[in-house]
Amino acid sequence: MPDVDVVVVGAGPAGSAAALVLARAGMDVLLVERGPFPGAKNMYGGVVYGRILDTLIPRWWEQAPIQRWVTRRATMITTPTQALTVDYRSAAWGAPPYNGATAYRPDFDAWLAGVAVEAGATLVCSTVVTGLLRQGGRVVGVSTDRPDGDISARLVVACDGVNSFLAKEAGLYGHASPDHYTLGIKETLALPRHLIDERFGLRDLDGADFEILGCTGGVPGGGFLYTNLDTLGVGVVLSLPALAAQQARPEAILADMKSHPAIAPLVEGAELKEYSAHLIPSGGLDMVPELAGDGLLVAGDAAALCLAAGIWLEGVNFAIGSGAAAGRSAVDALRAGDTTAAGLASYRRRLEATFVLADHTKLRGAHRLVFSDRTQVRYPQLVCDIVEGMFRVDNPQPKPGLRRIARREIRRSGVRLRDLARDARDGWKAFG
């Protein structure tokens, strides 16, 4: 007899969602976390999109440890001296069921793991899963760094994060290319709550989330800035190979962004409370591995199920969505007595039927467009120059009109019309 029905590796949002679904179905679940508590190893770009929790934890917003509800969502297109901001506010996002929330991951992840424990899962922290136990190619458990730490199980769900040594060990990934990863670094900056409210125009638990393009010194990526109750999260996401090739220091790129004239007044005087860094799987669908093996499922960042496509930066929701789907398919497979890859095939179908793989399918290739030199440097310059032409008053010259400004600025930017047309078409295909 195996020790447990299921070992879930990693108590991040994917692992806890999987463990929650399994425990509720009466399965004997062991949730293993390498940190001293769930969330200790996790950081992110700031927003949890919680609607995926609606069915898992009804009225989750009454108990989740949230900092602020995002009611102001801005996208900033910058050059070193210019900024064009699309600034959207919605009062509806400040009331249930809400849209996005800011939270500290050590709080949020520990809360979600706690919900799984209440449902009957057993959480073991401070334990590293060091490998898979196999029997004739089939996964039959895990080894850990505890003395006599082998645990046999009918099924293993690997939610062991972006580096997923388990998915790699199982051969579910091809070669891991650095092109598919971005490095996220972040500063958590303390600022009195009333100053945050004043600077960002917020009240009560309203929060702001800014995503920033053109601020990463030519290294493909983007920036973010969001509000907690009495801290700000400010960071950059950077293409890994470009970072290495351009000999640029990540914290210096972030310092540059923070000194931008449109951003500096927002972060001025805030004191560094915590510096953090994490990798992000950013290759989209091209990077998603095989999702099931004999006795094994993979979910969350471990399966590269994270959306880093320009104006959308989402991960926690994809982790919860894939973890819960893995849990449901695991329950079905365990009840049917078939946990082979074929018996677990409903997992992929579940993901395809929901946003998890549907969004990735729609946005396949979007990361290439977003990370291109044109999108990163030339288009921000072009757009800002066109807007500057619109709003600059050059009296005694008469107003030139948008068409003339656009023609002039496109010519000046050196962007070829052919490329512009192709990018517009690709962009429309992905985002339209």
Partner 1 sequence: MTEPTVDFEDRMATVEFQVAPEAHITVDGDACRGCTTKACVVACPARLFVPTSDGGILFNYEQCFECGTCYLVCNTEGAITWRYPEGGHGVVFRRS
What does the binding site for partner 1 look like in residue numbers (CB under 8 A)?
Answer: 34-36, 39-44, 104-106, 125-128, 130, 144-146, 162-163, 165, 176, 178, 181, 183, 185-186, 188, 217, 228, 231, 233, 240-241, 243-245, 247-256, 258-259, 272-279
- As measured in angstroms, the least distance from the Cβ of 183 to partner 1 is 5
Nearer to partner 1, 60 or 181 (CB): 181
Nearer to partner 1, 40 or 406 (CB): 40
- As measured in angstroms, the least distance from the Cβ of 235 to partner 1 is 9
Nearer to partner 1, 126 or 135 (CB): 126
Residues 6+ apart with CB under 8 A from 143: 129, 130, 131, 132, 133, 149, 150, 151
Terminal alpha carbon distance of the chain:
52
Nearer to partner 1, 86 or 244 (CB): 244
Cα–Cα dist 303/299, whole Å: 5
Instruction: For tokens 């007595």, name the residue.
Output: 337
- As measured in angstroms, the least distance from the Cβ of 156 to partner 1 is 17
- As measured in angstroms, the least distance from the Cβ of 30 to partner 1 is 14
- As measured in angstroms, the least distance from the Cβ of 131 to partner 1 is 10
Nearer to partner 1, 4 or 183 (CB): 183
- As measured in angstroms, the least distance from the Cβ of 128 to partner 1 is 5
Nearer to partner 1, 175 or 403 (CB): 175
261, 384 Cβ separation under 8 angstroms: no
Burial category of 150 from C-beta neighbours within 10 Å (exposed 0-12, middle 13-18, buried 19 and up): middle
- As measured in angstroms, the least distance from the Cβ of 41 to partner 1 is 6
Q: How many CB atoms lie within 10 A of CB 407?
A: 13
Nearer to partner 1, 93 or 173 (CB): 173
**H, E, C per residue of 62-96:** HCCCCCEEEEEEEEEEECCCCEEEEEEECHHHHCC
User: Residue 204: left (phi > 0), alpha (psi -120 to 50), or beta?
Assistant: left
- As measured in angstroms, the least distance from the Cβ of 240 to partner 1 is 6
98, 13 Cβ separation under 8 angstroms: no
Nearer to partner 1, 157 or 280 (CB): 280
- As measured in angstroms, the least distance from the Cβ of 70 to partner 1 is 17
Nearer to partner 1, 35 or 389 (CB): 35
Cα–Cα dist 33/113, whole Å: 10
235, 224 Cβ separation under 8 angstroms: yes
Cα–Cα dist 74/211, whole Å: 6
SS3 32: strand
**H, E, C per residue of 171-193:** CCCCCCCHHHEEEEEEEEEECCH
